[in-house]
């Protein structure tokens, strides 16, 4: 089964992706401005066919791409993931006109996409959205009012998948609609945010932004389903991103502890060090297998996808935090120096435990799914 044993073709593809990331994508990432969209990097992902593969293959392929790219270039991995996150609702729920207008541009790396779900007061509780769409009788559409924050590729994206409340309900999942909002709409503004890891994240402010029926993704009132189907696909792949970082930290630790002189030998000769490395490797492999299993469940349409996706994200992101932190400890002060691989990974590894549903939310999802099976 592919979830537990990759075939030779998959293994070779992953190796080629790691080489591509190290040799061609890493130099482009290094030239980018921290915290801003790196359009040459996005274009390179398009020219190498990776953006097309986001929509032409399944969850396992997505996980293999994210893990392989993250091993050598976290910026390339993040650029790929943000394109997928923002454009997947268009691919899965968009009209023929929406798909024809935007997907070729996304696949080519010419159009940058954003996924606008989180708000200042609604992060992990996605059903508590406050951005509201006021009906506009003059046009038959709506006017968007409110703010989104911590949004991928904002405010530089060419379009955003935006979730707004259109129903009369004061809260909950009902009455949320997904809209495709192109950049440049009147009343739309935003600014970049300075984050711990310098990803392209920002805020979007909606001051009466006009949207019409032609901008709806899916159907009015079904935006929560659009959001959740997207997150169910991408949550295991967040775990794959984490596994890629954990593997990079583990590889660096093996190299360092095998060569670093200490107490008449090398660090690897110390049982305390060797046992820590063994624990790092075991946890990384366990997380990897859980991610593959969740992706395989998604690809076969399993009913247990929400539980498996939450488990994969939970274990992989928590494992990566442990592995990177342990790697820093075993490297000593050199790992704290600006520009060191582990200094970079230490900043990168913290965010995945929060975005696309924090660790605590994943535990809640897992528990609900487990009890659903035993309660009438």
Q: State the catalytic residues.
A: 356
In which residue are the tokens 């007061």 written? 121
Q: Name the token pair of 233.
A: 């696909």
Q: How many Å apart are CA 163 and CA 30, to the nearest integer?
A: 33
| Nearest alpha-carbon partner for 144 in 162, 158, 160, 168 | 162
Q: Which residues of 249-288 are buried (b: 16+ CB within 10 A; e: fewer)?
A: bbebbeebbeebeeeeeebbeeeebeebbeebbebbeebb
- Residues 246 and 291: beta-carbon distance below 8 Å: no
In which residue are the tokens 């991408």 written? 234
Q: Where are the alpha helices (DSSP H) in 165-220?
A: none
Q: Where are the alpha helices (DSSP H) in the chain?
A: 8-20, 26-31, 39-47, 50-56, 59-72, 74-93, 96-108, 223-259, 271-299, 305-331, 341-348, 359-374
Kindly state the greatest CA–CA separation across the chain.
82
Q: How many Å apart are CA 209 and CA 182, to the nearest integer?
A: 10
| Nearest alpha-carbon partner for 68 in 48, 94, 92 | 48
């Amino acid at each position: 089964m592919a979830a537990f044993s990759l075939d030779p073709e998959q293994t070779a593809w992953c190796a080629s992706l790691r080489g591509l990331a190290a040799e061609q994508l890493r130099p482009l990432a290094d030239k980018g401005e921290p915290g801003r969209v790196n359009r040459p990097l996005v274009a390179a992902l398009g020219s190498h066919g990776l953006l097309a593969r986001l929509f032409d293959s399944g969850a396992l392929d997505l996980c293999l791409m994210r893990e392989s790219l993250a091993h050598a270039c976290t910026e390339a991995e993040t650029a790929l993931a943000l394109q997928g996150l923002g454009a997947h609702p268009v691919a899965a729920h968009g009209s023929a006109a929406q798909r024809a207008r935007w997907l070729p541009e996304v696949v080519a790396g010419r159009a940058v996409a954003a996924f606008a779900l989180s708000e200042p007061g609604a992060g992990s509780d996605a059903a508590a959205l406050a951005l509201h769409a006021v009906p506009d009788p003059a046009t038959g559409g709506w006017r968007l009012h409110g703010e989104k924050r911590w949004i991928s590729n904002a405010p530089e994206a060419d379009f955003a998948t935006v979730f707004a409340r259109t129903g009369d309900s004061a809260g909950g999942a009902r009455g949320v609609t997904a809209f495709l909002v192109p950049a440049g709409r009147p009343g739309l503004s935003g600014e970049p945010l300075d984050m711990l890891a310098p990803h392209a994240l920002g805020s979007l402010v909606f001051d009466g932004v006009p949207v019409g029926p032609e901008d709806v993704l899916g159907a009015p009132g079904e935006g929560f389903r659009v959001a959740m189907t997207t997150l169910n696909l991408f949550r295991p792949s967040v775990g794959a991103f984490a596994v890629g970082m954990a593997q990079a930290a583990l590889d660096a630790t093996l190299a360092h502890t095998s060569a670093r002189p200490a107490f008449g030998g090398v660090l690897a000769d110390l049982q305390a060090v060797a046992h820590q490395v063994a624990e790092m490797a075991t946890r990384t492999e366990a997380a990897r297998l859980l991610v593959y299993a969740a992706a395989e469940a998604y690809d076969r349409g399993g009913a247990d996808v929400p539980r498996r996706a939450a488990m994969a994200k939970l274990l992989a992101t928590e494992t990566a935090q442990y592995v990177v932190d342990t790697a820093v400890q075993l490297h000593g002060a050199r790992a704290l120096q600006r520009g060191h691989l582990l200094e970079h990974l230490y900043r990168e590894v913290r965010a995945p435990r929060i975005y696309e549903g924090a660790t605590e939310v994943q535990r809640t999802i897992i528990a609900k799914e487990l009890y659903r099976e035993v309660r009438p």
